[in-house]
Amino acid sequence: MTASVLAQNLRGSEIIKIAGEVNEMKRQGQNIANLTIGDFDSNIYPIPNELKQGIVEAYAQNQTNYPPADGVLALRESVSDFLKANYKLDYKANQILISGGSRPLIYATYLALVDPGDKVVFPAPSWNNNHYCDLLKANGVSVDTQPENNFMPTADELRPHIKGATLLALCSPLNPTGTMFSKQNLEEICDLVIEENKTRKAGEKPLYMLYDQIYSQLTFGSYQHFDPVTLRPELKDLVVYIDGASKCFAATGVRVGWGFGPADIINNMKAIVGHMGAWSPKAEQVAMAAFLKQTADVTNYLTKLKGNVQKSLQTLYTGFKALKAEGFAVDAIEPMGAIYLTVKIDYTGKTTPDGDLIKNSTDMNFYLIREAGCALVPFSAFGTEESLNWFRVSVGASTLADIEAVLPRVKAALTKLK
């Protein structure tokens, strides 16, 4: 059987490949700290109990038939209230779309706005934009970012690539880095989009923005989340937001995502999601609608979740900074949001105890898996070159004790390199 050209050329998830090897080693009884998948171990980070009970009750009430194509009205109304209370964003129920997590919403945004051959601009590293461009046969333009800017794109970096683009895809807090836009940085990018759209002729597609803020409730310390429409209200007709419950409530398997934006775009996305059948299960929608209204329970859960995630991230950050101070070729960027830490492990050209040469970040990662029982994800999985020796560390599937235990193993493994 000959598969389609798309199927033959589509790249699989590099993260899933790494996780597959890790899981096989764990099955063989090896002790591996799996710091790869952007998920939560539900035994370490369970979903809110009130949400769990609400889901059970919804199934007991036989809420098991098809939901409306755009989502249960009560949930869209709850999301509308949640957005107003937490972001001061005013979006009505008809401007909100519910789906089975945020991934179908991102894909639907691409399908609703981008034609084959259209230019899509996105930063590198970033999550999955290259794959969505492949699926649509779009002209994906990956813009390299710099560690001195916390791997967040700047207006100056984006400016040479914006002319004629249909979509600018952004995310903050960013997967894979756990870093965020500053107010000034995002304002400058918004102004760049406004400036570019003023040059478009009548009948020409505008430059739209996809703004993924799925991690926006998970921010730490003094770091504050900013969004385009709040900073520049004139962009409201051009921005599609991606959000949902997956990360802020450790509910990745519950599959309740919400997107919001201009009503006409959301309506087109509704038809696309409907044809994909990518609905969120009705019982989960009914339960989420009720839970979002329980303001005190939501606040209490988020406070506890953020505190525990921050402890794990800060432990890793402090540990890598200590290794750097000892002279190891490593570094880390202070955690700002999400469940990720950005670390540098720069041992390209070194030799392992078995005599193998470490040629790139992929080699380094698999050396750490074998020698230190520590699995990371190189930024090459997010669109950068393998020569870039930066990695994503995800803490959602590990206990604080696991993370504390892995740091000495990493140190020992690095010591063995020559």
How confident is the model over 168-194, as pLDDT tens digits?
999 999 999 999 999 999 999 999 999
Q: pLDDT tens across 252-281, in order?
A: 999 999 999 999 999 999 999 999 999 999
Structure tokens at 399: 């206990």
Stretch among 10-19, 89-98, 283-292, 344-353 having the lowest mean pLDDT: 10-19
* All residues at 6 or more sequence positions from 187 whose CB lies less than 8 Å from its CB, including other chains: 231, 232
Whether the pLDDT of residue 25 is over 90: the answer is no
Per cent of the chain over pLDDT 90 is: 91
Whether the pLDDT of residue 241 is over 90: the answer is yes
pLDDT-derived band at 24, boundaries 50, 70, 90:
confident
Alpha-helical regions (H) of 253-360: 263-276, 282-292, 295-325
Q: Would you give the DSSP letter of residue 351?
A: B
Quick check: bond before 408 cis, omega within 30?
no
DSSP string across 35-62: --SS---TTTSPPPHHHHHHHHHHHHTT
Given the DSSP bridges, would you call strands 96-99 and 33-34 parallel, antiparallel or unpaired? unpaired
Which residues make beta-bridge pairs with 259? Answer: 97, 242
User: Is 29 or 331 the better-scoring residue by pLDDT?
Assistant: 331
Contact by Cβ (8 Å): 166, 118: yes
Where do the domains of the chain lie, and which CATH numbers do they carry?
A: 5-45+299-415 (3.90.1150.10), 49-294 (3.40.640.10)
Contact by Cβ (8 Å): 365, 14: no
Whether the pLDDT of residue 221 is over 70: the answer is yes
Q: pLDDT tens across 378-414, in order?
A: 999 999 998 999 999 999 999 999 999 999 999 999 9
Whether the pLDDT of residue 1 is over 70: the answer is no
Question: What is the model's pLDDT at position 91?
Answer: 98
Q: pLDDT tens across 104-144, in order?
A: 999 999 999 999 999 999 999 999 999 999 999 999 999 99
Mean pLDDT, the chain, rounded, equals: 96
Question: What is the model's pLDDT at position 26?
Answer: 78
Whether the pLDDT of residue 15 is over 80: the answer is no
Contact by Cβ (8 Å): 213, 171: yes
Q: How many CB atoms lie within 10 A of CB 99?
A: 30
What's the rounded Cα separation, in Å, for the pair 308 and 323? 23
Q: How many CB atoms lie within 10 A of CB 27?
A: 8
Question: What is the model's pLDDT at position 362?
Answer: 92
What's the rounded Cα separation, in Å, for the pair 351 and 398? 29
What's the rounded Cα separation, in Å, for the pair 77 and 38? 28
Model-level pTM greater than 0.85?
yes
